[in-house]
Structure 1
Amino acid sequence: MSDAKCPGQNPQYWKPEDAFEVSCPNCKEIVEFFKDEPKRRCHNCKQEVINPKVDFGCALWCPKAVDCIGQERYQQLLAAAKTQPKQDKYRTKKDLLLFEMEKYFGGDERRINHARKVLGFAEQLLEKEQAAWAMGSPTTACRPADPLVVISAAILHDIGIHKAEEKYKSSAGNYQEIEGPPIARVIMEKLQFKKEIIDEVCEIVAHHHSPGKVDTLNFKVLYDADWLVNLKDEFDTGNKEKLTKTIDRVFLTSSGKELAKRIYGRGGS
């Protein structure tokens, strides 16, 4: 049991079902678990038993997780997350990246919130573009979007902004593109992403203000998601006719254009 104080990890907020029993796969002896324990050793046969219902709660993404539950417990949860069933890995990778992004940005809520907004739009566009690709839409790329690449790029696309401000006294996009990829690579290598995923995400981060240099659906989805957040700050959204032309010119995917017009303009095309 941890000494966590926040509601996500504090046992006083748990429900009765958060403590349960599991049969040891070796000797069938009963092993008691709390929901946040990745594993326990069977007291009868001494075999290590994995918790099949381990609940990471907020510990995988909260920037205060290490302070809250301690380094040892956090490392246990991190290790357990990497052994989750295949269908859970997408959620877990996203949670881990969010944790690392928020830890890197520290108290910079503006950049953290921006990344989360871009992530939200990226997930919406990803769903629409995947559906369009599956239906053979001629407007989509020859290769479907990869959720892991898109989500990772959405979370890390602006990760170089602090370094850019430190080195160049500017947050300009071209400086972010220089400083972002090395930081993104370190984070993703730490979390043991596959090299090909890391390489593609870093390529997107290196060009996320430079459309045309990377011609993949993964890039286009991230690019449009970023613009869905930034559009109101870069263009006059009051002039609907001009805005529609701007959206058609700037956005790269049909779903991005449709969503931008629905949010800022006169509705989808």
Structure 2
Amino acid sequence: MKCPGQDMQYWNESAIYEETCPKCGGTVEFYKDDTNRKCGRCGHRMVNPRLDFGCAAYCPFAEQCLGTLPEEFVGNQDNLLKDRVAVEVKRYLKSDFRRIGHIMRVAQQAEKIARDEGANLGITLCAAYLLEIGEIEAAARYGTPTADQIIAEGQRLAAAILGRLAAKEPIVQGVGTLIEAYHRRSDRDSLEIQVLADAADLARLEEMRRDDPLQVREFGLPMVERLLTASARQLAQKMIAL
């Protein structure tokens, strides 16, 4: 079976394009399914900058496809990792669609804010997907869990999921640190924590706009004042204005 994305019958004129070699400034032509190509001028082999690996989170042919990439590039695909984390979290939550929807909204808001603010995108987005799973596990185990119990369960589950995905140790440690700081409401000087706190508030505002739009302005305006990043404040103001 051939991946539809690699089948030329589905391609259009945008499937072939030119990129600039980062070494010599020469022009390198890519087909959209090329993982890498060699520059004809200097011989540098460059990775296709437009190739999107999000499909690898679910595609059964992902291992074959990614195997053609330089090893160091595969290891640093933060966007691929966060997509795979999202799939693992959905598997963990099974049919809890309300919780899945909420976590996806938090992650979407976190991505917008992190890009604008310049936060560490890979660690922040992995943490955004994994922030709340500790609450679920701790509640099932302890009934009314303490912050320490929520953090311990969250870090344990996050480490297990990231370990299955072969995430590098700095990412595992970074996500664990963010989970602890988020639930303790500490380290607000950390940009990544600011992004996660704001993303959670924006997700709640988004849900309020869906469920009770008449309350959005009343509760949204005070929320804008307590948001920690300029990007989140702009996003909140747009939601309130709609």
Which of 239, 244, 247 in structure 1 is aligned with 2:221?
A: 244
Superposed displacement of residue 219, structure 1: 1.1
Q: Is the 8 A contact 2:114 2:121 kept in 1?
A: yes
Residue 232 of structure 2 corresponds to residue 256 of structure 1: yes
| Post-superposition offset of 1:214 | 5.1
1:159 equivalent among 133, 156, 166: 133
Are residues 96 and 84 of structure 1, via their aligned partners in 2, closer, same or farther at CA, if it must alter by over 3 Å?
farther
CA drift of 1:182 comes to: 0.7
CA offsets, 1:68-121, max 9 Å, x none?
Answer: x5xxx6766686789483698122212221221112222222222222111111
Contact 2:194 2:229 in 1 (8 A): yes
Asked if the contact 2:151–2:180 (Cα under 8 Å) also holds between the matched residues in 1, the reply is: yes
The residue identity in structure 2 corresponding to 1:97 is: V
* Matched residue type, 2:78: Y
Larger radius of gyration: 1
Correspondence list, 1:1-150, <5 A: 1=1, 16=9, 58=55, 60-62=56-58, 69=60, 83=71, 85=73, 89-130=77-118, 145-150=119-124
Contact 1:149 1:200 in 2 (8 A): yes
Q: CA deviation at 1:164?
A: 2.2
1:254 shift after superposition:
2.0
Q: TM-score, normalised by structure 1?
A: 0.60
Distance 1:231 1:168, change over 3 A: farther
* More deviation, 165-174/234-243: 234-243
- Which residue pairs with 2:172 in the alignment? 198
Distance 2:145 2:79 in 1: 30
Q: What amino acid maps onto 1:219 in structure 2?
A: I
Q: Which residue type is aligned with residue 181 of structure 2?
A: H
| 81 and 174 in structure 1: CA distance in 2 versus 1, 3 angstrom threshold | farther
Q: Is the 8 A contact 2:4 2:10 kept in 1?
A: no
> In structure 2, what is the equivalent of residue 137 of structure 1?
none
Q: Give how far 1:146 is off.
A: 0.8
Matched position secondary structure for 1:207: helix
| In 2, Cα distance between equivalents of 1:57 and 1:252 | 30
Q: Which SS does the other structure have where 1:162 is aligned?
A: helix
What is the CA RMSD across the aligned residues, in angstroms?
4.0
Distance 1:103 1:243, change over 3 A: closer
Counterpart pick for 2:143 among 163, 169, 172: 169
Instruction: Provide the secondary structure at the position in 1 that maps to 2:237.
Output: helix
Question: What's the secondary structure of 1:238's corresponding residue?
Answer: helix
User: 1:57: Cα distance to partner?
Assistant: 7.4
Would the aligned equivalents of 1:81 and 1:92 in 2 still touch at CA under 8 Å?
A: no
Aligned length: 204
Instruction: Find the partner of 1:188 among 150, 154, 162.
Output: 162
Q: Cα deviation per residue 1:183-217 (whole Å; 9 max; x = unaligned)?
A: 00111122222222211211211232432345310
Aligned partner of 2:194 in structure 1 is: 220
Q: Percent identity?
A: 26
- Note if contact 1:159-1:183 (Cα within 8 Å) is conserved in structure 2: yes
Contact 1:162/1:171, CA 8 A, preserved across alignment:
no
Q: Say whether the 8 Å CA contact 1:185–1:198 is kept in structure 2.
A: yes
